[in-house]
Chain A
Amino acid sequence: MSEEIKAAKGESLFKLSSRRFLRNKGAVAGGIIVMIFILTAIFSPFIAPHDPLESNLEDALKGHSRKYLLGTDEQGRDLFSRIIYGGRMSLAIGVVAVSIAIVLGAVFGVTAGYVGGRMDNWIMRLMDILMAFPGILLAMAIVSALGPSTFNLMVSIGVYSIPTFARVIRSSVLNIKEMEYIEAARAAGQHEFKIILNHVLPNCIGPFFVLGTLRVATAILVGAGLSFLGLGPQPPTPEWGAMLSSGRVYLRSAWWVATYPGFAIMFVVIGFNLLGDGARDALDPRLRT
């Protein structure tokens, strides 16, 4: 039976999309990778063989061994345990930053798209200006001003991602606004705010979800980059970017310190990228690039 027939027979969009998603091997692999990282982050204390903060100077910069699976860093801390705990930080940075961006992006995007006119123009010009800060510059400027800390890092990456969300949501809203059910709701006398909450926002959920997942990947990368520059969580907090940065000095004598955290970053980002691509293909195959 073709998908159109199933849709015509009244199968819900959710069921259709989840079937499409499950058929996509890459998407399933991405989902599994992300799940593994989430579970590891939640159960870090049970999985990590050592305390990530416990330094043991006699064992500093030791290579692989049965006691230290991936070796130790310059303070003799177990690298494997630090990578496991570091996942908490990276996931938190990615998810919180993207949540900030989604909320503010939705406020700007919905206001611009729904109200339109001069308001639309002003908001979108502001977004253009934010986008004129290339790459991680805006995030760098914000975090350097607020001072380096985990929370400030999340805020800066969140603000940096606002324009992307605002643009996508605005264009969805512009489409939805013209739909007949919005007109019907208005004719039924519903308050504009209620229409936005009950009818406009729920119909933007697809692009929200797709962009959100892909942006978590970007946020994790940017977060690791800023931490690498010393603008993120401060020592001794285990964070992958910061671990890489401190391991850089020992590249000659102890290559593992700067090597393994990078693999962790890469795999979690691959997971979110695959998941996001899969969600996009499942929810709206037309968006496929």
Chain B
Amino acid sequence: MLQLIARRLIFLIPIIIGVTFISFSILRLTPGDPAQVLLGENATEDDIRAIRQKFGLDKPFFVQYAIYIANVFQGNLGTSIRTQRTVLTEVMSRYPATLELAGTAVIIASLIGLIAGIIAASNQNSIFDYGSMVVSLFGISMPIFWLGLMLMLIFSVILGWLPAVGRGTLAHLILPAVSLGANSAAIIARMTRSSMLEVIRQDYIQTARAKGLAERVVLYKHAVRNALIPVITVVGIQFGYLLSGAVLTETVFAWPGVGRLMIQSIYMRDYPVVQGAILLVAINFTLVNLFVDVLYGYINPKIRVE
């Protein structure tokens, strides 16, 4: 187990190098000059040159990258061109908001997805089964930003029950979290259902029934526990995606998270912040996946032995 964790943590190094290199090269292809953007239309040649020198934008590509990566491994992600604060400060100040949103979304998604999936599977081919599968098809096919707008239209504009934008109270959290989690809820529901159906067909479930256990005990004590093993992976992966995929939801609800910081920085051509945010989100994603793998091994002894 420790070996697995160590191996996966070492794999973080090429990930960091790869992700930084790709995002660094991609963003250097950008036509706009960040110094020009920062100083505006009226900047003189000298001003632009000074800014370029200050941020190292005048050096050759590979030199810029080498300096950057050396700094990254020392925990220095650079300085925001726009605000002059360090990138780490910028991203970390937005991070709690994204974590709060993604965390709530994954809790909502798991609750709805698991309950719907288990009920659908234990009543296979019933109206509830078909109904929940149709709803989940809509769930995976809906653009989340549109769902966000529709929820906003119904619950804020028409009914006036919940605030439309911003962060602060619990009421602010409900709409963004629900719209962000809807897609994952649908994926988790489908996964839970198919995993349950597979488990229900197995011999040991027959045995449990044959020895006269109540159907409820068979389902919830024997079937669900085993059916949940693959579902855990899906929930974990979804959490990783939600942390990053919040860009659209954060834009719709003006949620002050990392996603919105990233999109604002893209508009402003604030390279260091975009790179830093991408890197931190990618590391986060990899760590969540590592955690899921370890958890999976812990729950399923068969995997551990292998």
Contact = CB atoms under 8 A, between A and B. Distances in A.
A27 to B, nearest CB: 13
Interface string B139-162: 011111111011011000100000
Contacts of B157: 251-252, 255
Interface string B23-61: 100111111000000000000000000000000000000
Contacts of B278: 133, 137, 141
Given A229-B248, A262-B146, A134 B282 contact: yes
A231 B30 CA distance: 13
Interface in A120-161: 125-126, 128-130, 132-138, 140-142, 144-147
Contact of B141 (A135, A241, A269): A269
A134 B281 contact: yes
A274 B27 contact: no
Interface stretch (B72-80, B201-209, B216-224, B238-246): B238-246
Nearest to A223: B143
A227 to B, nearest CB: 10
A258 interface: yes
Interface extent on A, as a size class?
Answer: 35 or more
Contacts of B153: 251, 255, 258-259
B137 A132 contact: no
A125 B243 CA distance: 23
B243 A134 contact: yes
Contacts of A146: 29
Contacts of A133: 19, 22-23, 278, 282
A283 interface: no
Contacts of A216: none
Contact of A129 (B19, B143, B247): B19
Interface residues of B, number: 50
B230 to A, nearest CB: 10
A136 B247 contact: yes
Contacts of A265: 142-143, 146
A241 B262 CA distance: 19
Contacts of B15: 128-129, 132
Interface in B65-83: none
B252 interface: yes
User: Which of B145, B194, B248 has the largest count of A CB atoms less than 10 A from its CB?
Assistant: B145
A278 interface: no
A84 interface: no
A contact face: mostly helix, strand, loop, or mixed = helix
B216 to A, nearest CB: 26
B8 to A, nearest CB: 11
A140 B157 CA distance: 31
Interface in B7-25: 14-15, 18-19, 22-23
B212 to A, nearest CB: 32
A134 B27 contact: no
A141 B23 contact: yes
Given A138-B22, A142-B26, 5 more contacts: A133-B278, A144-B30, A225-B144, A265-B142, A270-B137
Interface of A: 125-126, 128-130, 132-138, 140-142, 144-147, 217, 221, 224-225, 228-231, 241, 244, 248, 251-252, 255, 258-259, 261-262, 265-266, 269-270, 273-274, 288-289
Interface of B: 14-15, 18-19, 22-23, 26-31, 137-138, 140-147, 149-150, 152-153, 157, 190-191, 194, 240-241, 243-245, 247-248, 251-252, 262-263, 266-267, 274, 278, 281-282, 284-286
